[in-house]
Structure 1
Amino acid sequence: MVTANGGLNQQRVAVCNAVAIARLLNATLVVPRFLYSSVWKDVSRFSDIYQEEHFINYLTPDIRIVKELPEELQSLDLEAIGSLITDTDIRKESKPSFYVKNILPLLIQNRVVHFLGFGNRLAFDPIPSQLQRLRCRCNFHALEFVPKIQETGALLLQRVRRCPQPGLLDHYLVGPYAESMLKEKGGHSGKASKYLALHLRFEIDMVAHSLCEFGGGEEERQELEAFRKVHFPALTLLKKSSKLPSPAALREEGLCPLTPEEAVLMLAALGFKRKTYVYVAGANIYGGRSRLVALNSLYPNLVTKETLLSASELEPFKNFSSQLAALDFIVCTAADAFAMTDSGSQLSSLVSGYRIYYGGGKMPTIRPNKRRLADIFTKNNTIEWRVFEQRVRKAVRQTKHVQTRPVARSIYRYPRGNECMCFTE
């Protein structure tokens, strides 16, 4: 049994890792559950987001998946018998040998183990190629969104393009709704307008965890510290017991998320014109609407799922942050160009990997080198715009190449390799 933590994208990684571990241990997997989070506040079940029958059937050649524990095991006190395994019991990115040595004996003895809060707890290297391939199959093929999400995702794509013409990746993201939307509009064959999707990873959890400062003075410091005490108590304790780098040092090293204002400068320097349609993913930007003033001023054709959908169309997703994140995933993945402000976020990693896997090299992703950009931004009071453009473009150009997966890096972000997909040089 697996109960995955985090939001939609962390849960997706956990599910794929759980599938691989079930195969490794020759165990039956119970359809994963999702842990309620005080940050995400979403009670969605697996079947509320993904097509459960497709997940089970697609992976049948690889592992056995059931919807519930057998009746004779449901009454067991898993914590009392030592079969409840938390993230504190497993090191981050543990090797397969850890599970064989420590988890398999428990599984054989008690017939069931439950990974509670399971996340990024399986290494990417070294790992048998069949397990790596299975994680890839799970992420790119077994996890399909439910019709409710696909249908609304297709509606978003039609409206952001201002045309029902399907895009290159629509079939993989919204299934039959890619074609049905076209038929409903009488077979309209007009050319779809291009759009840029921008993932602003600037929610309060990211801002607080970074330990950076963003110009809000003492009021900001107190607000973020209060958030850390509730949601990141370990980080609060670490601050008290250790001397951590200053906010200025963190920014210099490129460890702070780009602010919306910095994102505007990056896009303008890269040549995105004022008329560009920009879809902004992410909810509850820290600082509220005032933080988006610069972005909105330079790019008036800025839209979000909240502005593209009516109140009644959004109602079924209200209070379900993971389902809303699934809509962002669809629109970002299908975009003509995708720009991220933090290359370490799960959404950005999964979206860029999906675009590589299905995009055939035609889906550009803008991944900033935050350390280089930080150096450029600190000089933006005196630098000439022409020089600023050149430096930003150089900083982004160095990260744009689609490369074979580096050793120990995520298969979900870097699917290009023999264990996941065929490719040619």
Structure 2
Amino acid sequence: MSEISTSGRAPPARTPTTSYPLSGPRSHSGPGQLSQPNSPFGSTWKAAMRMRRGWCRRRGTVGLVALVVVFFCVNWWMLSRIQDPIRFGKVKRIKFRFLKGNASTVSIKEELKTIGKGKMPQKTAYARLLSKAAHALAEGQKRAEPKDLWVDPYVRAASWISCSYKRDWKPSEGSNGYMMVTANGGINQQRVAICNAVAVARLLNATLVLPKFMYSTVWKDVSQFGDIYQEEHFIEFLRPDIRIVKELPKDLQSLDLDAVGSVVTDVDIVKEAKPSFYMKHILPILHKNRVVHFVGFGNRLASDPIPFELQRLRCRCNFHALRFIPKIQEAGALLIQRMRQNSTLPAPLDPYLVGPFAVSAMKGDRSNAEKGSKYLALHLRFEIDMVAHSLCEFGGGEEERRELQAYREIHFPALVEQQKTEKLPSPEQLKSEGLCPLMPEETALMLAALGFNRGTHIFLAGAQIYGGEARLSTLTTLFPNLVTKESLLSSTEMEPFKNFSSQLAALDFIGCGASDLFAMTDSGSQFSSLVSGYRIYYGSGKMPTIRPNKRRLADIFVKNDSMQWAVFEKRMRKAVRQNKRVFSRPVGRSVYRYPRCRACMCNRDDEDRRQRH
């Protein structure tokens, strides 16, 4: 049996320093019993007691360490809920798949390293905040979202109802001649041009020839009016307002319109021209040549001052006369149904967006119809045309600058000339003024800060995002249930729309219009303006829209290196909440975007007050 060794110095009375060898059993007085104090082995008993106290202290230390380990394990488990295992040292490639099939995504830490390593190298933006956002999303998976997240903060919004279908005039004979319009831009600019043309035709008492669309080198779409909108519905719905024909009479078709001075371009018309301009300069052309041809016609009619009934006609055209063709409606109905996870119950806007395809899958039996899961539609305006035209920088360095400048030289030569002759604001100045489009990283941070759950179903609208899938990876990492029309519809279902950007944009319009909540990243976007206006007009105050003020957001993002997540959350929510309210149309603003005005909508509260008095 090993002997007990002691130190050479006299130990304190209560804290003996006797130690045990590394091996050997404890001293025993018998089987399983310690020696008594008055026994010859008293020192052994004291040493054993000291050892027991030491063991207790060590056990407490081990327990504390174990508790810390458990804490970190739980923390790691929560983070792992937003991570995929990295197998064989390689990161899984993100795939856009439908909601339930896309249950996980790649490790955010690894993914942030790969952002931009596709076509365009770039540094990871906001890596610190993104890491905090990932942690917040993991912790909040079972936490309830903010109560006001999916509702319109304007409580009186429900009192506004659509009523632009009402008329208080006789049909126009269109006897002053024929008015042709070839609208430029994409589908959204063309839509505005059509409705402005309808109003001008009524103003001039002209017969409108069914509008045509100019081919754009940017959009590269040969679609014409009948490829997107229902021609017969358009003509018949507006028959009580203006006369519409599909083509010029034979005797005018051979006329050289340019030679006789009947061609009017955007150069000839001031932007936001008043009705008096058309009466003074265009009506004489009609009287002389019996025909006038507007080429371009982009934003060539003012929002104010406009006669009441003429303003109402613009609303009637936009919200009632323009209906997508059945091919687009059918695909749009499929898109909506799949976003709602095969819900059989139509939502408020469905009949106006997809027409007869909005019926219940239960064939009229609504007793068993199920309400689908809600979804957020996001218009991420980050296509190369927007990015290049903004003159901003997005973290891609010199290669990005060269690529965007080359694009400008081809598509925006006037802007390039302006760069050479004028001193334009720096990218930093543009950013601080809120003139740069939100990057996907910034959009992801905004959604996370607003309190959206990681499992939120998101429909992403828009054309090809600049930077491709690599640029989107941050957004899809934080919100894996993000899908596009291409991932919702099969290749067979998408085939009829291939290479027709305007028709694809129409599907995006349907997906965004029908969503429970619509979020835009660029309040100046024509697409976002038309979608939000449509939701106001038909939504009865139940179709809210998030329209961030980019100037306020820029002030928040510039301090990202030092801001804590809780502070970032608070400031972001306040900034968005302040800009989420839309009461009635401001003077001079578009009725297509802000239809809450007496010309487009009626206020039930006003009607009730009139009836009481």
1:30 corresponds in structure 2 to 209
For 1:156 and 1:98, the matched residues in 2 are separated by: 44
1:16 aligns with 2:195: yes
1:169 aligns with 2:349: yes
For 1:420 and 1:399, the matched residues in 2 are separated by: 22
Question: Structure 1, residues 69-99: CA drift from partner, whole Å, max 9, x if none?
Answer: 0110001111111111111111111111111
- The answer to whether the 8 A contact 1:153-1:327 is kept is yes
For 1:223 and 1:283, the matched residues in 2 are separated by: 18
Structure 2 residue runs of 5 or longer lacking an equivalent are 1-179, 606-613
Structure 2 letter corresponding to 1:148: K
2:290 maps to which of 88, 106, 111: 111
- The answer to whether the 8 A contact 1:166-1:182 is kept is no
Structure 1 letter corresponding to 2:197: A
The 5-angstrom pairing of residues 227-306 of structure 1 reads 227-306=407-486
- The answer to whether the 8 A contact 2:345-2:366 is kept is no
2:520 corresponds in structure 1 to 340
Q: 3-state SS of the aligned residue for 1:257?
A: coil
For 2:365 and 2:531, the matched residues in 1 are separated by: 28
Q: 3-state SS of the aligned residue for 1:398?
A: helix
- The answer to whether the 8 A contact 1:150-1:173 is kept is yes
Deviation at 1:190, TM superposition (A): 1.8
Percent of aligned pairs with the same amino acid:
73
Q: Residues 188, 45 of structure 1: CA spacing in aligned structure 2 closer, same or farther, 3 A cutoff?
A: farther
Question: Structure 1, residues 240-296: CA drift from partner, whole Å, max 9, x if none?
Answer: 111111110000000001011100011011111100000000010011111100100
Deviation at 1:180, TM superposition (A): 5.4
Structure 2 letter corresponding to 1:66: V
Deviation at 1:191, TM superposition (A): 2.2
Deviation at 1:195, TM superposition (A): 0.4
Which stretch of the first structure deviates more once superposed, 138-147 or 393-402? 393-402
Q: 3-state SS of the aligned residue for 1:57?
A: helix
Larger Cα Rg: Structure 1 or Structure 2? 2
Question: Structure 1, residues 163-184: CA drift from partner, whole Å, max 9, x if none?
Answer: 2321111011101100054429
Q: Residues 223, 184 of structure 1: CA spacing in aligned structure 2 closer, same or farther, 3 A cutoff?
A: farther
1:49 maps to which of 218, 228, 243: 228
Structure 1 letter corresponding to 2:475: L
1:308 maps to which of 472, 488, 493: 488
Deviation at 1:312, TM superposition (A): 0.5
For 2:351 and 2:328, the matched residues in 1 are separated by: 14
- The answer to whether the 8 A contact 1:258-1:342 is kept is yes
Structure 2 letter corresponding to 1:311: S
Question: Structure 1, residues 21-62: CA drift from partner, whole Å, max 9, x if none?
Answer: 000100000000000000000011101100100000000011
Q: Which runs of 4+ in 1 moved over 4 A?
A: 184-188
1:407 aligns with 2:587: yes
1:159 maps to which of 326, 331, 338: 338
Q: 3-state SS of the aligned residue for 1:224?
A: helix
1:4 aligns with 2:183: yes
TM-score w.r.t. the length of structure 2 is 0.68
Question: Structure 1, residues 210-243: CA drift from partner, whole Å, max 9, x if none?
Answer: 1111111111111111111111111111111111
The 5-angstrom pairing of residues 379-390 of structure 1 reads 379-390=559-570
Question: Structure 1, residues 74-129: CA drift from partner, whole Å, max 9, x if none?
Answer: 01111111111111111111111111111111111011111111211100001111
Aligned length: 425
2:402 corresponds in structure 1 to 222
For 1:78 and 1:50, the matched residues in 2 are separated by: 27
- The answer to whether the 8 A contact 1:350-1:412 is kept is yes
- The answer to whether the 8 A contact 1:4-1:33 is kept is yes
Q: Residues 382, 85 of structure 1: CA spacing in aligned structure 2 closer, same or farther, 3 A cutoff?
A: same
2:249 corresponds in structure 1 to 70
Which stretch of the first structure deviates more once superposed, 164-173 or 190-199? 164-173
Question: Structure 1, residues 198-217: CA drift from partner, whole Å, max 9, x if none?
Answer: 00010011111111111111
For 2:197 and 2:361, the matched residues in 1 are separated by: 35
1:142 corresponds in structure 2 to 321
TM-score w.r.t. the length of structure 1 is 0.98
- The answer to whether the 8 A contact 1:210-1:257 is kept is yes
Question: Structure 1, residues 351-395: CA drift from partner, whole Å, max 9, x if none?
Answer: 100110000000110000100000101111210111101111111
2:107 corresponds in structure 1 to none
Deviation at 1:324, TM superposition (A): 0.4
1:360 maps to which of 540, 545, 560: 540
Deviation at 1:310, TM superposition (A): 0.5
- The answer to whether the 8 A contact 1:165-1:188 is kept is no
Two-structure CA RMSD over aligned residues (Å): 1.3
For 2:368 and 2:425, the matched residues in 1 are separated by: 57
Structure 1 letter corresponding to 2:311: Q
